[in-house]
Structure 1
Amino acid sequence: MKEPKPNQKDAYGLILEAIDRGVYRPGDRLVENELAERFGVSRTPIREALQRLETQSLLTRDGRSLIVASLDHNQMAELYSVRAELEGLAAQLAARHATDEEMRVLRDMMEEDRLLLDDPNALAQANRRFHRQIHLASHNRFLVQQLNLVHQSMALMATTSLAAEGRSTKALEEHDMIVKAIEARDEEKAREALKAHISKAFVTRLKLDAAKTSG
């Protein structure tokens, strides 16, 4: 089924968003003509987008086909390590630079997310928006660029850690601690709270992967 093409989005953005939403999961094969039909764009920009995604290691070769890449244990550990440091810095800078309005948005987002506790996929999308808001509140464009790259790679994880039993509630409690630290302009506490949040998410994901492997 052809999907309507969102305004101001190129083929690269459309495919990346589809991977991020789980429309295409690790191991899925991406075919030019099928993508062109789905998104209502010509094959040339699709081809260019696939080449770009391959260069960024979001896609990999399986013979002559391109498939969505997957992360092995070491790659996932490396990604979470970098993410924790960059996210922690973003929270630290947000505590220093965030405007009153930006802090209000963070608080409102967190409160609204409580309504999504029974929907892990919707909460995962809301979680990305929440973290993105912290990135923007850091007021450091170069940090935001690097975090965008990290979060693109996060899309290669087939499941959300928020799907684990009890994780959603804990994650929102951690979000509350982060927002309180930012509101208090406590840079060190904000940094450590966000780093701890990422660490706990990583532990949860490792447990999910271990359970999947043993099953």
Structure 2
Amino acid sequence: MNDPRQPQKDAYALILEAIDSHIYKPGDRLVESELAERLGVSRTPVREALQRLETQSLLTRDGRSLIVASLDHSQLSELYVVRGELEGLAARLAARHATPEEVTVLRSMLDADQALINDPDALSRANRRFHKQIHLASHNRFLVQQLDLVHRSMALLATTSISAEGRGADTLKEHATIVAAIEAGDGDAAYKALRDHISEAFVVRLKLDAQAVEAAE
């Protein structure tokens, strides 16, 4: 008998996490019955979750099937423009409002992530945690909500730019520059450092996409 005190699994959150961790990649078909069995939930919450994800444009229709959406070049460019501005604003606000404890957490992340430099998947997850910590350090709940939406759309990218050769080391150097500016309370420098970081990631992303197209020809 199920313990009524045990929290129910959130089908929406579980599917979103599976997309974010690339268990389901752009173009993959999501089948209600298979998801229900895999996630250990009934089909009704899965159906509702799929409808919600479709409304948010994370899933799209391919005939009668729902598949994980993908981003074309224009959408990718638009996403990075918005991300750069919002992330930069978060860094600027963090430089003003971050507590000493929050800066300590960012510093500890920098140290811990050095051990992940040769593990792109683990470093990608750590990268998301690092950025989320900056969002929270902005102490602006509305900005955090908007950045959550942006990062949700980032899950539609089939690969991480950190997987590119040398990008892991560069990412950590850029993170260190961001944290130094936040710790110094320099909002302008923090904004620029994070904007530059996103710009570099976008350049790497474009190169990876160009290589993928070339390899497919």
TM class by smaller structure: over 0.9
Aligned twin of 2:122: 122
Q: 1:26 to 1:183 in 2, by over 3 A?
A: same
Give the match's secondary structure for 2:35.
Answer: helix
One-letter code aligned to 2:157:
M
* Cα deviation 1:17-52 (Å, max 9, x = unaligned): 000001000000000010000110000000000000
Question: TM-score, normalization: structure 2?
Answer: 0.95
TM-score of the two chains, using structure 1 as the length reference: 0.96
Residue 56 (1) aligns with residue 56 (2): yes
Percent identity of equivalent pairs: 72
Whole-angstrom distance in 2 between the partners of 1:185 and 1:9: 41
- Equivalence for 2:133: 133
What's 1:11 paired with? 11
Q: Distance in 2 between matches of 1:106 and 1:122?
A: 17
In the alignment, structure 1 residue 24 sits paired with structure 2 residue 24 = yes
CA deviation profile, 1:152-199 (whole Å, cap 9, x unmatched): 000000000000000000010000000000000000000000000000
1:195-210 paired onto structure 2 within 5 Å: 195-210=195-210
Change (3 A) 1:166 1:25: same
Q: Distance in 2 between matches of 1:21 and 1:133?
A: 19
Aligned to 2:104: 104
What runs of 5+ residues in structure 1 fail to find an aligned partner?
1-5
Residue type of the partner of 2:197? H
Query: 2: CA distance between counterparts of 1:12 and 1:149?
Result: 14
Q: Flag as ranges the 4+ runs of structure 1 deviating above 4 A.
A: 6-9
Counterpart of 2:194 in structure 1 is 194
Secondary structure (helix, strand or coil) at the match of 2:23 reads coil
- The equivalent residue for 1:155 is 155
- How far is the alpha carbon of 1:9 from its aligned partner? 4.5
Map of 2:3 onto structure 1: none
Is 2:44 aligned against 1:44? yes
Question: How far apart are residue 110 of structure 1 and its match?
Answer: 1.1
How many pairs were matched up? 210
Whole-angstrom CA distance in 1 between matches of 2:13 and 2:115: 29
Query: Is structure 2 residue 71 aligned with structure 1 residue 71?
Result: yes
Opposite residue 213 of structure 2, the aligned amino acid is: T
Cα offsets for 1:86-123 (capped at 9, x unmatched): 00000000000000000000010011001001100000
1:143 equivalent in alignment to 2:131: no
Matched residue, 2:92: 92
Deviation at 1:7, TM superposition (A): 5.5
